[in-house]
Structure 1
């Protein structure tokens, strides 16, 4: 019995049935050919035009990203371009993507080249400015303060440029002890943005760098275009270290100036902003010392005058005067109190004497002394009782008669009829 045949696997889907190189190249070419023609904009990063070749090779770079595209075009198209093509020129190209199967390389075969006008560039910069402003990158509240005396200044500028010489010489003359960490990227052309961004990141990560200065001398509008690049502006906004920009001259105003913490008019102005003048600071210190000494002397005089006034007051000149006055007042009060108490005692003593005399006069002893007697019946049992009626003392009743100097006993003989 024969085994059933397995269906054949599609080419390129397993290691047993791979595609040959030519097939893959042709498939890729077919896919790319389906894209049709496209318009693309970029910045010329490199251009090669050989005298003995009819083809020109151009590397077109995206100014806002680290990406590039290989361009091929007829040599005459480069020579007849509406603007002189050179590294850094922004152009718009029309062409068809193509894949060269022999070398396995991709390029854009261009048949038209147009220049990007100044008006269009200005419009794009204005749109980017509004976008960054809406995101808050220009907000003054986000600006970081510049340190008063930076120990190390990070300087990003062109190699051996006037901007570097101006910043270093002016800063050193103002404060000789200042130190620099200098990075020299290209400041013109298609490689400006990636190199300046790399220098920014390196200096921002250095803990010894206190402030970063990005300086470039004057130039044409196209020369300063990289400093209005979105990638560079956002990188400045992300820096932790304060950033000072000095791009071009006073009228120039690239977008990175709006994002930076401080915008200087020129590289010389940037050096003056980040480094104090030692002579001026020394003069200021002298003035402050004189002002502080004068203020201290005035304060001492004011305090002395206040102390003299306090000491001249009666409470401090004669601190016991108030106590003496109060002592005299207390003495007078005590004298008056004693006088009043003595008078009250005398009055009360006299009143008590009168009352005692009246009580003595009205008492039974005084009555007896005048010849009167108190007669009491003395029963056999029970207490004695005062005789108040003749009926209470019948005959043979024992009587007790009390006189002034004593008492005697007697017996009643009954009622006196003669009476």
Structure 2
């Protein structure tokens, strides 16, 4: 049993050549593949039979070496320069001697503008279906941020515009600058890395991604799906300030605020202090004026209420009712006196009639009242039969009374 076919153990390790040959065998089995990427290096020296290129993934820090016939580059209708987006067709090869992987290319096709735009539309449809463009996801910008995160190209005009306008509008604003490539294959991973760092900083209240104008190819990183998802995942509000007004990368749709230009982004993020103070003063004056008008209206209302008779002379109603009570009291007293007078006259008449019909008047005319006294209860005698002999009686006349004893019983 040879070393190559024996089981791989610590006691029987593979030589380096065996590992290299096995890797080469597995990679060669992959066959021909189509691969898309961005050219970052093109080396085709005159007189050589092989051109060397580097193909980089636009959304990740990954690249692979390419080799091809120089005529393949020369026959291309579009110049294949660094930064070009291409689709290549080739077979992966592993060089055992150096332990390197490369792709032997037999076809290179530049990605045209139409294809790029079609891919951007597919990404747009996908993210829209996931709700990443929904207005309800948009976060409001802070009113007066103390620290603004800025992602831009090194020494770019967009960077200068944002900083100059922001500091001019409010001198105390701090700009945390993150300089990254803003085009080419290194742009997306660098921007994503700085975006995550700024989002993790608790002092950064808003993040601005700024870049000047450019061609569709130059602005491709700002329509990259990896960058768009990173922006959507941010907890800090993000402002997109890419290019000029006609430029519309997909970052504008995912970001919380879309600014037409980097200058417009600075104006949206940082309010002008003088204008805000003037606005506050105007609002204060309007509030004071409105308050004074309200007080004046209420004072007029109170004055109107106080001028009403019921409030101007609050006792007038009482006085009027008091007079009515006095009149009714006088009427009642006169009525009572009249009623008493009538009753007094009636009483006098009845008394006179009673006196006329009473026993006193009868006695005055010479009559007498005889009362028997020896019974249990004295009572007037109305018959001779009630006066037996020896009965004690009381005889009442007009001017007095006398007692007597009946001596003889008899009839008249």
Same fold (TM over 0.5): yes
Which residue of the partner structure matches residue 207 of structure 2?
212
Partners in 2 of 1:213 and 1:224 — Cα distance? 16
CA 1:256–1:396 in 2, change beyond 3 Å: closer, same or farther? same
Q: What secondary structure sits across from 1:96 in the alignment?
A: strand
Q: What secondary structure sits across from 1:169 in the alignment?
A: helix
Match of 1:98 among 81, 93, 98: 93
Q: Is the 8 A contact 1:150 1:211 kept in 2?
A: yes
Partners in 1 of 2:275 and 2:73 — Cα distance? 58
Q: What secondary structure sits across from 2:203 in the alignment?
A: coil
Shift of residue 363 of structure 1?
4.7
Partners in 1 of 2:48 and 2:281 — Cα distance? 74
Q: Is the 8 A contact 1:71 1:110 kept in 2?
A: no
**Is residue 337 of structure 1 aligned with residue 332 of structure 2?**
yes
Shift of residue 267 of structure 1?
1.5
Partners in 2 of 1:361 and 1:103 — Cα distance? 168
Partners in 2 of 1:35 and 1:177 — Cα distance? 60
Which residue of the partner structure matches residue 72 of structure 1?
66
> TM (normalized to structure 1)?
0.82
* Equivalence map 1:191-340=2 (5 Å): 191-281=186-276, 283-284=278-279, 287-288=282-283, 291-292=286-287, 294-295=289-290, 298-299=293-294, 301-302=296-297, 305-306=300-301, 308-340=303-335
Match of 1:32 among 27, 39, 56: 27
Partners in 2 of 1:176 and 1:257 — Cα distance? 28
Shift of residue 171 of structure 1?
2.7
> Quick check: 103-112 or 52-61, which moved more?
52-61
Q: Is the 8 A contact 2:144 2:270 kept in 1?
A: yes
Number of residues paired by the alignment? 405
* Equivalence map 1:113-192=2 (5 Å): 113-192=108-187
**Is residue 11 of structure 1 aligned with residue 4 of structure 2?**
no
CA 1:103–1:348 in 2, change beyond 3 Å: closer, same or farther? farther
Alignment RMSD? 3.3
CA 1:415–1:166 in 2, change beyond 3 Å: closer, same or farther? same
Which residue of the partner structure matches residue 79 of structure 2?
84
Q: Is the 8 A contact 1:43 1:60 kept in 2?
A: yes
1:332-360 residue CA offsets vs partner (Å, 9 max, x unmatched): 33333333333333334444444444455
Partners in 2 of 1:99 and 1:284 — Cα distance? 70
CA 1:358–1:166 in 2, change beyond 3 Å: closer, same or farther? same
Q: What secondary structure sits across from 2:30 in the alignment?
A: coil
CA 1:340–1:377 in 2, change beyond 3 Å: closer, same or farther? closer
Shift of residue 194 of structure 1?
1.2
Q: What secondary structure sits across from 1:176 in the alignment?
A: coil
Q: Is the 8 A contact 1:82 1:114 kept in 2?
A: no
Q: Is the 8 A contact 1:217 1:267 kept in 2?
A: yes
Partners in 2 of 1:269 and 1:54 — Cα distance? 52
Q: Is the 8 A contact 2:61 2:189 kept in 1?
A: no
Which residue of the partner structure matches residue 3 of structure 1?
none
Partners in 2 of 1:402 and 1:73 — Cα distance? 177
Shift of residue 297 of structure 1?
5.5
Q: Is the 8 A contact 1:215 1:246 kept in 2?
A: yes
CA 1:252–1:151 in 2, change beyond 3 Å: closer, same or farther? same
Q: What secondary structure sits across from 2:35 in the alignment?
A: strand
Which stretches in structure 2 are left out of the alignment for 5+ residues? none
1:30-57 residue CA offsets vs partner (Å, 9 max, x unmatched): 3333322221222234455567864444
Partners in 1 of 2:208 and 2:181 — Cα distance? 15
> TM (normalized to structure 2)?
0.84
> Quick check: 211-220 or 346-355, which moved more?
346-355
